[in-house]
Amino acid sequence: YYFPCQRWLAVEEDDGQIVRELVPVDEAFVKKDSENDGQSLATLGLEQKAKSTTYTVKVKTGDKKNAGTDANVFITLYGSKDDTGIVSLKASKSNKNKFERGKVDEFTVESVDIGDLKKIKIGHDNKGNSTGWFLEWVEIDAPSLGQCLKFPCGRWLDKSEDDGAIERIIFPAELQTTEYIPFVPYEITVYTSDIFGAGTDADVFIVLYGSDGICTQQKSLCLNKREQRMYFERNSVNQFIVELEDVGDIIEKIRIGHKGGGLNSGWHLDRVAIRRLLPNGK
């Protein structure tokens, strides 16, 4: 069995996760073939994305005295087919100090397909100076499933408050579930020109347009400023697997640009290649 990863396991990189679930792939993908290597890895990125689900997890700490926690918080998502296992919520995308009073923290959780989300378990390890935590709610958005679920809590996770539990199983509130058209993964390969000063450190974004006026949201290709400095260098090829609204079988045009700012924002773009994984896996 071959389990390629090619992803960071680091709090400050990629989606911030330090544990990953990997799916096995055909041996042919792993064989190093100098002529075909780039293409096989490209295909692999899209194939792996099709087998996994990315969840955006928002966690609201209550607006009460001493509601925040310094303990390590973890979550497990339970679906109709499987569960994610214990996932540490370490890299908040919205706050440097996470789980502070009245704040909403956003995390990315990626796992193999667990089916319809049925419940979650969330808790902490009770370590640190201020451990007691008042959890208001958890919201989980899965674009590839077209579903956003709200898990209301409104209770303490504190050994000296409420019932003394520091982990809780929570079920979604049916009336607060939002359904929408599922997103699909696109593989976007960006080629920066080989001329002096071609590279950029700016925030590059893209919009895809299909027929009948359908278009995606504007999506930044880099997750953070560090990636902006790493990618889009002179004569470079950078590939991104991005979940976006499905614009259909035909992409009529794209809009690509950057937000300026910084010392080296000017960019000479050579070309962009886009592939969409079709429903039958092609």
* Residue 4 within any structural domain of the chain: no
Picking from 1-15, 19-33, 117-131, which range would have the lowest pLDDT averaged per residue?
19-33
**Contact between 58 and 139 (Cβ < 8 Å):** yes
| In-domain check, residue 35 | no
Instruction: Examine residue 28 and state whether it is found in any structural domain, yes or no.
Output: no
This prediction's pTM: 0.82
85 pLDDT above the threshold of 70: yes
CB atoms under 10 Å from CB of 51, counted, come to 14
- The per-residue pLDDT of the chain, averaged, comes to 88
> Are residues 250 and 219 part of one domain?
yes
Whether 144 and 202 share a structural domain: no
Same domain flag for 162 and 205 = no
- Domain boundary residue, one of 179, 195, 223: 179
Check which CATH number belongs to the domain holding 169 and give it.
Answer: 2.60.60.20
pLDDT one-digit tens code per residue, 200-230: 999 999 999 998 889 999 999 998 888 888 8
36 belongs to a structural domain: no
**Same-domain pairing of 212 and 111:** no
- Higher model confidence: residue 224 or residue 167? 167
217 and 271 part of one domain: yes
pLDDT (0 to 100) of residue 44: 65
Quick check: is 29 in a domain? no
Q: What is the pLDDT of residue 34?
A: 45
> What domain range is 231 assigned to?
183-276
Confidence band for 31, pLDDT divided at 50, 70 and 90: low
- Buried/exposed code over 175-210 (b: 16+ C-beta within 10 A; e: otherwise): eeeeeeeebbbbbbbbebbeeeebbbbbbbbbbbbb
